[in-house]
Amino acid sequence: MTRLARPPEIPLRERLITLMTSDGVALEDALIAIWNLIMLTIGFVGTELSFRDTQGGSIIAQQFELLREVAGQPSFAQRERLTHLALQNARPFDMNAHFSAAVATFIDGIAAQRLPPVLSSAG
């Protein structure tokens, strides 16, 4: 991953570009979206694998729970009211759920950029 290699031919990439462009995504935007999704995935995987304690536990999940604990203190609740309220009912940190939410948000963003459909002159 740290050195250049000849880009492989990936039929799935062609299929995705075909599907995306047929749904109104501009050709260049489709390619960039696929590339960005790959980077998003690499980022999540790298983060999950890099931030582990000596027992294999997620430091990110531990940090989230520590924030929840600190946010429960009255002085924090006064300074950061919205964070305090959000953490009161927040579920435990789940990397899979966060990845799914990031991908869904990413897809929604692509959908919002679609070109309007071309009306057929056939009637």
Predicted pLDDT at 81: 94
Looking at residue 4, its pLDDT comes to 82
Per residue of the chain (123 residues), what is the pLDDT tens digit? 578 888 778 888 999 999 999 988 889 999 999 999 999 999 999 998 999 999 999 999 999 999 999 999 999 999 999 999 999 989 999 988 989 999 999 888 888 878 776 555 555
Cα–Cα distance for residue pair 111/123, rounded to 1 Å:
28
Contact between 112 and 33 under an 8 Å Cβ cutoff? The reply is no
Residue with tokens 């924090």: 76
Name 106's Cβ contacts closer than 8 Å, sequence gap at least 6.
33, 36, 37, 40
CA 68 to chain centre: 22
Q: What is the largest CA-CA distance in the chain?
A: 68
3-state secondary structure 42-63: HHHHHHHHHCECCCCCEHHHHH
Q: Which two tokens stand for residue 89?
A: 């009912």
Q: What is the DSSP string of 9-21?
A: P-HHHHHHHHHHH
Say what the pTM is. 0.67
pLDDT value of position 121:
57
Q: What is the pLDDT of residue 9?
A: 81
